[in-house]
Amino acid sequence: MKSLQKIGLSLFLMIGTGAFAQELDANLQLRPRYEYRNGFKELMKDGSLPTSFVSQRSRLNFNFKQEKLKAKLTFQNIRVWGDVPTTTTADKNGIALFEAWAQYDINAKWSARLGRQVLSYDNQRIMGEIDWAQQGQSHDAALISFKQPNHQLDLGFALNSDSEKLYRELYTTSYKHMQHAWYHTNFDNLGMSLLFLNVGFQYQEVPANNLQVDNMQTFGTYLTYKKNKFDGNLGVYGQTGKGKLVTENTSISAFYGGLMANYAFTDKVKAGLGYEFLSGKDQDDTDSKIKSFNPIFGTNHAFNGYMDYFYVGNYKNTVGLQDIFAKFTYTSNKWQFNAMPHAFMTAADVIDPTNTSQKMDCYLGTEIDLTASYTLQKDITIAGGYSQMFGTDTLEVLKAGNKGYDNNWAWVMITINPRIFSTAK
């Protein structure tokens, strides 16, 4: 708390002594979330019991603007209620920087941004903020942007190290380097985005111990269409490059396809149907090539079921996934209700562990997601949800656990976003 007070005082002093026209606003976000987990991310195991807890995100955001200069500073603390004693002298996670960047507008079309920042594009399938996760996702990067009506181009660059080094050493905290290009344009009712992303991961060769970097490329397009009561989107991406598996470099050949169509029956009622395919690799495939698609920086919680069985810190380099889903939305005044059923199937073969000459059914199970939200007032929203997974024998093989248990998950979250102050001079 003392640290936040010092930060606020320093910013107020900056306002008082500035000589140029400038704007500064600050806002606070408090987001406690209760969760009941009884088969979340994986099927419940024999002898296991459900658990519940409250996590909380506390953020303090400062936005500064002065002529061609913009800056943002976001501090956050992520905690689970009770993770430190009531008489603690230090917080477990402390205060971290979520965003800390400065942007210079070179002219009306070009700008450059440096620092810790969110990189989020399109429906966030490949690059997103992961806002559901209390900690979110941001990158240390440089970003050059070009904007004009109906056109935008972003060019991003990142180079990572865990400290100021004197010599080259192995880096495993995150990716070693990244470059991306994203272009978006509009044609009447059609929006089109093109994405190219290259990510390099450092590793140490065995037995030579040389430090090397494997690069993975993700590229593709995302299309949106809207006319009258109909809207839809289509995403198609491929992955190439190399990936490190145990002691050898292996080439990557993977792909993704996703389609969704929605129709608004009334101002309050909307329904949609969608399908996703994320390539995978047959379990009896002896080829060393990586064939499983990796939505590397995506906001994966928003896809393939809210119970996070697939691609949320798990399920990588596996048999892939097919997801047939529907979404029903009802909105009335301050309320919104959603129902989203999923039917999951593998994209590649699963071998029966009890009979290796047999392949298992590709059907993994059905998940039902129900959510509701209520806007109490301008700065306060209450949301909650309930999800149920009906798993199969194939899901048991891939995720362990027991499909016979009542695998479900429930949550309630309150989001409070008050503006603390706003000033201009």
Residue 397 confidence (pLDDT) above 60? yes
Contacts of 359 (CB under 8 A, 6+ apart): 349, 350, 351, 352
What pLDDT, in 10s, does the model give residues 88-97?
A: 989 999 999 9
Lowest mean pLDDT among 20-29, 193-202, 251-260, 341-350: 20-29
Residue 348 confidence (pLDDT) above 50? yes
- Residue 2 has a pLDDT of 54
What pLDDT, in 10s, does the model give residues 233-243?
A: 999 999 999 87
Nearest CA-CA partner of 227 in 259, 262, 194, 193: 262
User: Quick one: pLDDT band at residue 247, thresholds 50, 70, 90?
Assistant: very low
CA distance 408 to 370: 11
User: Quick one: pLDDT band at residue 15, thresholds 50, 70, 90?
Assistant: very low
Q: What angle do CA 310, 361, 239 make, to 5 degrees?
A: 45
- Phi first, then psi: what are they for 302, rounded to 5°? -75, -5
E strand intervals along 39-167:
51-66, 69-80, 96-105, 110-117, 139-148, 151-159
Name the DSSP letter for residue 179: E
- Residue 210 has a pLDDT of 87
> Which residue matches tokens 């490190």?
244
Could you tell me what percent of the chain has a pLDDT over 70?
94
Could you tell me what percent of the chain has a pLDDT over 90?
87
Residue 136 confidence (pLDDT) above 50? yes
> Which residue matches tokens 């180079």?
159
Q: How far is CA 61 from CA 77, 113, 117, 236, 340, in A?
A: 12, 17, 13, 35, 33
Conformation bin of residue 291: beta by default, left when phi > 0, alpha when psi is -120 to 50: alpha
- Residue 425 has a pLDDT of 74
Nearest CA-CA partner of 398 in 291, 283, 305: 283
186, β-bridge pairs? 191
Mean pLDDT across 395-410: 95
What pLDDT, in 10s, does the model give residues 67-109?
A: 999 999 999 999 999 999 999 989 999 999 999 999 999 999 9
Amino acid (one-letter) located at 281:
K
Residue 205 confidence (pLDDT) above 90? no
- Phi first, then psi: what are they for 185, rounded to 5°? -145, 165
Residue 246 confidence (pLDDT) above 50? no
- Residue 10 has a pLDDT of 52
CA dihedral 260, 264, 265, 270 (to 10 degrees): 70
In whole numbers, what is the pLDDT of the chain averaged over residues?
93
35, β-bridge pairs? 53, 411
Q: How far is CA 371 from CA 153, 265, 368, 414, 423, in A?
A: 35, 20, 10, 14, 37
User: Quick one: pLDDT band at residue 206, thresholds 50, 70, 90?
Assistant: confident
Name the DSSP letter for residue 397: H
Q: How many CB atoms lie within 10 A of CB 45?
A: 12
User: Quick one: pLDDT band at residue 248, thresholds 50, 70, 90?
Assistant: low
> Which residue matches tokens 């899901």?
395
- Residue 209 has a pLDDT of 79
Q: What angle do CA 408, 276, 189 make, to 5 degrees?
A: 120
CA distance 245 to 216: 13
What are the tokens at 10? 């320093």
Residue 3 confidence (pLDDT) above 60? no
CA distance 193 to 185: 7
User: What is the Cα gyration radius of the chain?
Assistant: 24
Domain range annotation of the chain: 2-424
- CB 178, CB 296: distance < 8 Å: no
- Phi first, then psi: what are they for 265, rounded to 5°? -70, -40
Lowest mean pLDDT among 59-63, 123-127, 197-201, 209-213: 209-213
Q: Would you give the distance in Å from CA 137 to the centre of its chain?
A: 7
What pLDDT, in 10s, does the model give residues 269-314?
A: 999 999 999 999 999 999 889 999 999 999 999 999 999 999 999 9
Residue 207 confidence (pLDDT) above 90? no
DSSP string, 44-81: PPTT---EEEEEEEEEEEEEEEETTEEEEEEEEEEEET
Residue 268 confidence (pLDDT) above 80? yes
Mean pLDDT across 146-152: 95
Q: How many residues does the chain have?
A: 425
Domain 2-424 has CATH 2.40.30.110: no
Reduced DSSP (H G I as helix, E B as strand, rest coil) percent helix, strand, coil of the chain, to 5 = 5, 55, 40
Nearest CA-CA partner of 144 in 197, 193, 106, 175: 106
User: Quick one: pLDDT band at residue 21, thresholds 50, 70, 90?
Assistant: confident
Mean pLDDT across 315-331: 96
HSE-up of 338 (CA within 13 Å, CB side)?
A: 18
Residue 61 confidence (pLDDT) above 90? yes
